[in-house]
C-alpha cells in the first residue's frame, strides 16, 4: 500500500530536478523559512491529479470512504465550505426551494445565493436554561415538507458548533419518504465512529451527502475536509462537477498528504490514541463538574469532545458585576495563555481531540478552578437571545439585483430596525448569519447586535463596523 506522504518525502530526497511549478523549486534556502517546500509539488508524473484521481489520490479516497462507511469519498482542500457549496448546488435546481436549518453555516447561505434558491427555514429549539440552540425537530421537518412540497433537498448541521446532535436517522427516514436527499454538515464530527464514546457518523444513519472537516477534530492541517456521497437520490456526477468548480485547480499536495497521514494514523493507531484521549477527557469532564459556579454544559444527545463552559448567572465577587463568556475567554487567554475556540454571551467552547496532551488539559482545569473561586452565583435579569425570526421579503439573490446607489444606505444597528438588509451579519465563529440579505430587521435583532457590540464581539459580513447596508426604497 502506497501513502502520499511517503512518496512525496522520497521524491523530495531524490535527484529529480523540477522545471515546473511551484516557483520555490523545493529549495528552502530561497526564503530560509522552515516550511515544507520539499514535498510541495504540482501534478507531476506519478503523483495523480485530484480533479481526475486514478492512482495514489484515488486509493487514498477509497480508504477514506471505507473508514467512514461511505459509498464514495472525495478529498476537499478548500475546506468543508467547498463540499457544502458543491452538495447544495448539486442537489438543487436554480431557483428551487431548499429546507435548511436556520443555524446552518454561512457557506450554505452562499450556496442558496449562488443557485438563486428560496430557503424554507427550520428553527432549532432553544434551551433558555443553557442558552443553547438545541436539536432540529424531525416532526417539524416532516410538517414543513408537507407544507412545501417543492423542496428539493434538506440540509442541516449536526453536530452544531456547540456540540448538539440532531436525530439524523429519523430525519433521513422522513426526508427519504419525499424522495429527496438529506445533506448533513457534520464538519465538527470527523472523529465520530472511531470510539464508542462518540456517536456514529451520518453515513451510517441514512444521510445522502455528509461533509467532514478533518482539521477540526482530527490531526490534519487546516483547510482539509472530506465529502461523502451515498445512495441514488443524488446526482453524483453533478456534485463532482461542482467540486471541480469550487476547488482550486492547483490543489496542495501538502494538504492532501496531511489528510492521508491523518487517516492512516487513525486506522493504524486509532484504538490506542482514542482510548487514551477518552480516558483523559472523561476524567477531566468529571473534574469540571465539581466547579461551583462555572458549569459544564451537555445535553442528552451531545458530542462530548466539546467542553461548553457556562458562566450564566455568575458575578465577580470583588467587583459585583456580571461575568460573561467573553470575560472568561479573555481571562483564560491573557492570564493563562489558553486559547479557547470561541466565546458566546454566557459561555466559552474548548475543543478537544486526540492531539491534546494531559499537561494542556491540566492547565485548563487549574485555570478554571482558580477563576471559579472569584465568582459567585447571582441571577441577573439578562437579555436572552434566540436565532432571529425575521420576515424574508426577498431572497439573497433578488436583493443583490436591487443594489443601486440611490436605494442603499448604511445605518447603525439602532436605526436599522424595520428596514430590509442588504448584507449578512454574523459572529465568527461560529459563522451563523443573524441577518440574511432580504430579511426585514426586527427591533429585537437590532438590539441584540447593539448588545454584542457593547460586549466586545466582532460582527462580520458587514462593510462598515457597527453599520449595515439596508434597502431604503422598497
Q: pLDDT in tens for each of the 474 residues of the chain?
A: 899 999 999 999 999 999 999 999 999 999 999 999 999 999 999 999 999 999 999 999 999 999 999 999 999 999 999 999 999 999 999 999 999 999 999 999 999 999 999 999 999 988 888 888 899 999 999 999 999 999 999 999 999 999 999 999 999 999 999 999 999 999 999 999 999 999 999 999 999 999 999 999 999 999 999 999 999 999 999 999 999 999 999 999 999 999 999 999 999 999 999 999 999 999 999 999 999 999 999 877 899 999 999 999 999 999 989 999 999 999 999 999 999 999 998 999 999 999 999 999 999 999 999 999 999 998 766 666 667 789 999 999 999 888 865 689 999 999 999 999 999 999 887 888 999 999 999 999 999 999 888 888 889 999 999 999 999 876
Q: How far is CA 285 from CA 95, 160, 189, 245, 407, in A?
A: 47, 19, 19, 43, 53
At the fourth CATH level, the homologous superfamily of domain 396-471 is Molybdopterin biosynthesis moea protein, domain 2 (3.90.105.10)
Burial class (CB in 10 A: 0-12, 13-18, 19+), 328: buried
**184 and 128 Cβ atoms separated by less than 8 Å:** no
* CATH number belonging to domain 271-377: 3.90.1150.10
Measuring CA to CA, which residue among 141, 80, 84, 92 is closest to residue 116?
92
Is residue 60 a contact partner of residue 4, using CB atoms and an 8 Å limit? Answer: yes
- What architecture is the 4-267 domain classified under in CATH? 3-Layer(aba) Sandwich (3.40)
pTM: 0.94
Q: Grid coordinates representing 266?
A: 487513525
Q: How far apart are the first and last CA of the chain?
A: 63
Pairing mode of beta strands 209-212, 225-229: antiparallel
CA distance 89 to 353: 32
How many alpha carbons lie under 13 Å from residue 205 in its C-beta half-sphere?
22
Give residue limits of the domains in the chain. 4-267, 271-377, 396-471
Q: How far is residue 402's CA from residue 471's CA, in Å, rounded to a whole number?
A: 8
Tell me: cis bond preceding 57? Omega within 30 of 0 counts: no
Those residues with Cβ within 8 angstroms of residue 96's Cβ, 6 or more apart along the chain or in another chain: 115, 117, 118, 150, 152
Give the number of residues written for the chain: 474
Q: Give burial (CB, 10 Å; 0-12/13-18/19+) of 97.
A: middle
DSSP-assigned beta bridge partners for residue 437: none
Amino acid at each position: 500500500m502506497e501513502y502520499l506522504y511517503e512518496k512525496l518525502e522520497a521524491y523530495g530526497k531524490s535527484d529529480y530536478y523540477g522545471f515546473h511549478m511551484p516557483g520555490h523549486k523545493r529549495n528552502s534556502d530561497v526564503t530560509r523559512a522552515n516550511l515544507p517546500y520539499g514535498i510541495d509539488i504540482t501534478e507531476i508524473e506519478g503523483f495523480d491529479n485530484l480533479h481526475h484521481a486514478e492512482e495514489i489520490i484515488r486509493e487514498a479516497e477509497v480508504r477514506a470512504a471505507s473508514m467512514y462507511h461511505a459509498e464514495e469519498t472525495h478529498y476537499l482542500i478548500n475546506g468543508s465550505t467547498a463540499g457544502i457549496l458543491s452538495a447544495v448546488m448539486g442537489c438543487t435546481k436554480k431557483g428551487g426551494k431548499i429546507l435548511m436549518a436556520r443555524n446552518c453555516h454561512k457557506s450554505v447561505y452562499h450556496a442558496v445565493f449562488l443557485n438563486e434558491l428560496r430557503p424554507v427555514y427550520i428553527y432549532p429549539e432553544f434551551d433558555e436554561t443553557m442558552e443553547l440552540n438545541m436539536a432540529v425537530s424531525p416532526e417539524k421537518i416532516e410538517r414543513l415538507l408537507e407544507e412545501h412540497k417543492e423542496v428539493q433537498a434538506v440540509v442541516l448541521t449536526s453536530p452544531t458548533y456547540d456540540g448538539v446532535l440532531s436525530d439524523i436517522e429519523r430525519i433521513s427516514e422522513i426526508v427519504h419518504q419525499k424522495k429527496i436527499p438529506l445533506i448533513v454538515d457534520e464538519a465538527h464530527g470527523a472523529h465520530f465512529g472511531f470510539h464508542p464514546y462518540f456517536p456514529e457518523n451520518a453515513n451510517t444513519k441514512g444521510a445522502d451527502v455528509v461533509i467532514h472537516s478533518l482539521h477540526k477534530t482530527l490531526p490534519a492541517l487546516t483547510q482539509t475536509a472530506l465529502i461523502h456521497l451515498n445512495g441514488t437520490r443524488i446526482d453524483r456526477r453533478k456534485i463532482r462537477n461542482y467540486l471541480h468548480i469550487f476547488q482550486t485547480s492547483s490543489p496542495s499536495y501538502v494538504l492532501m498528504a496531511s489528510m492521508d497521514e491523518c487517516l492512516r494514523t487513525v486506522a493504524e493507531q486509532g484504538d490506542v490514541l482514542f482510548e487514551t484521549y477518552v480516558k483523559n477527557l472523561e476524567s477531566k469532564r468529571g473534574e469540571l463538574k465539581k466547579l461551583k459556579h462555572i458549569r459544564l454544559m451537555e445535553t442528552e444527545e451531545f458530542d462530548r469532545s466539546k467542553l461548553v463552559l457556562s458562566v450564566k448567572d455568575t458575578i465577580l465577587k470583588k467587583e459585583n458585576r456580571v461575568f460573561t463568556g467573553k470575560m472568561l475567554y479573555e481571562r483564560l487567554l491573557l492570564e493563562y495563555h489558553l486559547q479557547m475556540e470561541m466565546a458566546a454571551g454566557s459561555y466559552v467552547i474548548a475543543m478537544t481531540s486526540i492531539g491534546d496532551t494531559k499537561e494542556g488539559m491540566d492547565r485548563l482545569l487549574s485555570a478554571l478552578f482558580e477563576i471559579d473561586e472569584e465568582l459567585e452565583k447571582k441571577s441577573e435579569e439578562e437579555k436572552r437571545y434566540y436565532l432571529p425570526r425575521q420576515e424574508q421579503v426577498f431572497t439573497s439573490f433578488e436583493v443583490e439585483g436591487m443594489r443601486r446607489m440611490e436605494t442603499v444606505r448604511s445605518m447603525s444597528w439602532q436605526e436599522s430596525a424595520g428596514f430590509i438588509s442588504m448584507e449578512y451579519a454574523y459572529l465568527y465563529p461560529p459563522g451563523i448569519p443573524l441577518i440574511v440579505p432580504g430579511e426585514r430587521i426586527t427591533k429585537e435583532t437590532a438590539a441584540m447586535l447593539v448588545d454584542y457590540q457593547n460586549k466586545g464581539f466582532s460582527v462580520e459580513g458587514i462593510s462598515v463596523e457597527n453599520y449595515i447596508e439596508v434597502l431604503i426604497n422598497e
